[in-house]
Amino acid sequence: MLVVGGGYVGMYAALHLQRKLKRGEADILVIDPEPYMTYQPFLPEAAAGSIQPRHVVVPLRQVLAKCQVLTGEVTAIDHENRTATVKTLATAEEGTGAVDLHYDELILAPGSISRTLPVPGLADHGIGFKTVEEATGLRNHVLEQLDIASSTRDPEVRYAALTFVFVGGGYAGVEALAELEDMARYATRYYHNVQPEDLKFILVEASHRILPEVGAEMGRYAIRELRGRNIDVRLDTRLQSCENRVAVLSDGSRFPTRTLVWTAGVKPHPILAATDLPLDERGRLVCTAALGVDGVPHAWAAGDAAAVPDLTAGQADTTCAPNAQHAVRQAKVLARNVIASLRGHDLQDYRHKYVGSVASLGFHKGVAHVYGRKLKGYPAWFMHRAYHLSRVPTLNRKARVLADWALAGLFKREIVSLGSLENPRAEFELAAGTGRHPEAS
């Protein structure tokens, strides 16, 4: 049994399968480019330093002890012949190229990737916010900009260093901006010549609202909250260019900036296009309510990669939203159905009515619309933390995240930038290549 992807669906499905399958009933192989699952709702807090980055990831080998975990990338799938083409670190070292793996049952859960647009300069200067590496790198980058601003005498360099542009008003963009703005304004107390009012945070959203998942009223409250913190929220506005480190917006504004964070949506993983399975117009796998790939036996899918009918929507052609709330629940139903299929039992349709959403707007601030109830401020922030603490996998990770929060409440924020970790050999290469030795100084 091959599980492609170790994210929400892949990890949870494999976890349920290893618990429910009998000994010798099936072998489970999980393939993912990373040896861990990232709990993405905690990325903003990891970027702000409230949670240690390694505590928002779950080691697959530790959790999936009864599965075989392979760190690699599936580049093509020929389901008709039950074959997956895989690249691993070993094949790269050996120079043998990709290898073919054979399977009987396929679970496709590769997730999604950032959706970029052909904006001039975006590929050169944009920063994503989908992985723990990007969250950690963004934290280091923001603190580095404060260092640049405090040490330069060039007003143009200082302005660009203290201007932070976030594109995308969904969860990722709003929560990342809110948490990092909180952290940056706190950090200014340790810089003698940088004041909180010197920082300029700009949120650019192409539609007329932000955080649509929490409803129009809570979305408007979020805008008021952000603007009350002197954050420039621009609706019905697009990024047209960011060449030469200048963000040019569709309303004619121009902002020299050294920080442009792109969170304007996601798209299905490109591996889906390298299969012989049916896709919809958005590039997702066409699935049944039982989470099987439509018309294709022994192939299953869920999460961001799958167009799953929403049986609670009350209207035809509606599919489940690509979020963690559905993904975790779909994984459980998918695992049950795979086992039922192996044993010749009836399959269960996936059915879950969306209960609402919560979003953090920084420390002690948030919005929520859950079970018809609307919350804002501290209660929403507390609910955000409580909900995601209950959902993060394993007791080990729950305890570590809770400990991080407790320590953050007892002690001052850490404002150390460890950007050099992104290039750990730089110091050695400098010493070896330039003769940087004591006698040369």
DSSP assignment of 262-296 equals E-S-EEE-GGGGGBSS-B-TTSPEEB-TTSBBTT-
Q: What is the pLDDT of residue 441?
A: 40
Confidence bin at 182 (pLDDT 50/70/90): very high
Of the listed ranges 21-35, 86-100, 266-280, 312-326, the least confidently predicted one is 312-326
The average confidence (pLDDT) of the chain is 91
pLDDT of residue 223: 95
Count Cβ atoms within 10 A of the Cβ of residue 210 and give its class: 0-12 exposed, 13-18 middle, 19 or more buried: buried
Q: Identify the pLDDT of residue 435.
A: 55
Non-local (6+) Cβ contacts of 221 within 8 A are 367, 376
The model's pTM: 0.89
pLDDT at 438 over 70: no
* Among 130, 110, 26, 109, residue whose Cα is nearest residue 331: 109
To the nearest 10°, the Cα dihedral for 253, 259, 263, 267? 110
Task: Please state, in angstroms and rounded to a whole number, the distance separating the CA atoms of residues 191 and 235.
Answer: 32
Residue 150: count of CB within 10 angstroms of its CB: 17
Average pLDDT over residues 31-60: 93
What pLDDT sits at residue 440? 45
Distance of CA 263 to the CA centre of its chain: 10
What pLDDT, in 10s, does the model give residues 396-421?
999 999 999 999 888 888 887 776 77
According to the model, what pLDDT value does residue 436 have? 54
Q: Give the residue among 325, 324, 292 at the shortest CA–CA distance from 306.
A: 292
Q: Which two tokens stand for residue 420?
A: 């050099």
| SS3 call for 68 | strand
Task: Convert the pLDDT of each residue in 215-238 to its tens digit.
Answer: 889 999 999 999 999 999 999 999
User: Could you give the percent of the chain with pLDDT greater than 70?
Assistant: 98
Tell me if 228 sits within 8 A of 377, measured CB to CB. Answer: no
For 347, which DSSP code? Answer: P
Higher pLDDT, 369 or 297: 297
- As a whole number, mean pLDDT of residues 110-134 equals 92
Q: What is the pLDDT of residues 154-181, one digit of tens each?
A: 999 999 999 999 999 998 999 999 999 9
Between the alpha carbon of residue 188 and those of residues 50, 183, 359, 375, the distances in Å are 17, 9, 25, 31
Q: In the structure encoding, which two tokens stand for residue 1, read together?
A: 């049994």
pLDDT value of residue 434: 61
Cα separation, 7 vs 9, in Å, equals: 6
Q: Taken in order 33, 34, 38, 43, is the CA torsion positive or negative? A: negative
Per-residue pLDDT of 327-376, as tens digits, reads 989 999 999 999 999 999 999 999 988 777 889 998 889 999 888 889 99
Plot region of 25 (φ>0 → left; ψ -120 to 50 → alpha; else → beta): alpha
Of 130, 45, 56, 33, nearest in space to 393 by CA:
56
pLDDT higher than threshold 80 for residue 102:
yes
Residue 353 pLDDT: 83
Give me the mean pLDDT over the 254-274 stretch: 93
In the structure, what pLDDT confidence band is assigned to residue 424 with cuts at 50, 70 and 90?
confident
